[in-house]
Amino acid sequence: MLPKINAALVEKVLVRFIRDEFGKCGCKKGILGLSGGLDSAVTAALAARALGPGNVLGLIMPYGKGFPEDVRDAGNLARRLGIRHKTIDIAAQVDIYFAAHPTRSRVQRGNKMARERMSILYDYSAREDAFILGTSNKTELLIGYGTIHGDMACAINPMGDLYKTQVRELAAHLRLPAAIRRKVPTAGLWPGQTDEGELGLTYEELDDILYGLVEGRRSRREMVEAGHRPAIVARILRMIKNSEFKRKLPPIAKLSPRSVGHDFLYPYDWGK
């Protein structure tokens, strides 16, 4: 079973991490996409504590008039945290592309939208001289439930080692609004999509299985013996393996005695 976190300790570590990383780069401002969902709300709250609310900018980037409650919740959250926010409708740039290159794939459209939001975030990062805070949690990272070069793109990722259910614990500790905490998680790729509906299991069960596999280093057989459904365990293992590419930089073909990505090894914090 996934143990409960000490949310106050986690808050302290993550706030310090954000402050440290920004401090090393001499960067005062942070920017992130605000979806109206839980993960971006928690990240925004941590960033506001670490950097001061006035130094955090939340971009709300809806596609047209879809998801009006999320847009409203995101705006309310920004006001509650005292952070700056701005709404940018991505419909025009998405529509013009798909008018020329039509598709019926909802996933393809959703991924394109995630990457449009990413490109806007990076542009605003340059305009504002602000670092992008990622909002991916450990559950998503492990099963690859994110768009590579889309919502996974960021400068630092404070919550990448917290499972989704632990993010909920942290959200309660941070006293985030109930409207956001009780919201059914969705990647927002299309209206009516929910994570748990698409995955076919609850986050509680998913996190328990991931915790057993990752921290517990249990085998598939041991997970089944512990009472988890064999088909589910097999599917989760497949998702983890199939998404390893999203958690790595692409392999570089090695030719020389010292190559980027192989044996040219420096810390991320190099020279900061």
Partner 1 sequence: MKIVLAQIVPRLGDVKANVELHLDVLEKARRRKAGLVVFPELGLTGYTLKDLVEEVALDPDSDPRFRKIVSRSKGLSVVVGFVEERPAEKGLFYNAAAFIADGRIVHVHRKVFLPTNGMFEEAKFFAQGRDFRTFEAPFGRAGLLICRDFLHYGASYVHYASGADMIVCISAAPGRGVEGGDAFETSRMWELMGEAVSYFSTAFVLYANRAGSEDGVTFAGGSFAFAPGGRLAARAAAIDPDLLFCRIDLSAVRDARRKWLFKRDEKPEVVWRSLERIVRASED
Determine the 3-state secondary structure of 260 from DSSP.
strand
User: Contact residues for partner 1 (CB under 8 A)?
Assistant: 3-6, 8-10, 12-13, 16-17, 20-21, 156, 264-272
Give the number of other CB atoms < 10 A from CB of residue 37: 22
Minimum distance of partner 1 from residue 188's CB (angstroms): 27
Task: Work out the angle between the directed axes of helices 230-242 and 203-214 (0-180°, nearest 10).
Answer: 70
Q: Which is nearer to partner 1, 21 or 195 (CB)?
A: 21
Q: What DSSP designation does 183 have?
A: S
Closest CB 168 distance from partner 1, rounded Å: 15
Task: Kindly state the smallest distance separating residue 84's Cβ from partner 1, in Å.
Answer: 26
Q: Which two tokens stand for residue 56?
A: 């955090």
Q: How far is the CB of 2 from partner 1 (least distance, A)?
A: 9
Phi, psi angle pair for 139, to nearest 5°: -60, -50
99/249 with CB nearer partner 1: 249
Q: Which is closer to partner 1, CB of 90 or CB of 142?
A: 142
Give 255 or 266: the residue with its C-beta nearer to partner 1: 266
Strand, helix or coil at 61? coil
Smaller CB distance to partner 1: residue 22 or 67?
Answer: 22
Instruction: Please report how close the Cβ of residue 263 comes to partner 1 at its closest, in angstroms.
Output: 8
Taking the complex as a whole, how short is the minimal distance between the CB of residue 16 and partner 1, in angstroms?
7
Pairing of strands 84-87, 56-60: parallel
Which residue's CB is nearer to partner 1, number 24 or number 221? 24
CB 187, CB 193: distance < 8 Å: yes
Contact assessment for residue 47 and residue 57, using Cβ atoms and an 8 Å cutoff: no
| Residue closer to partner 1, measured from CB, 102 or 271 | 271
Residue with tokens 């000490």: 6
Q: Tell me the C-alpha distance between 247 and 28, whole Å.
A: 27
End-to-end Cα distance, the chain: 39
- Least Å distance, CB 189 to partner 1, is 28
Pairing of strands 29-33, 56-60: parallel
C-beta separation of 46 from 158 below 8 A: yes
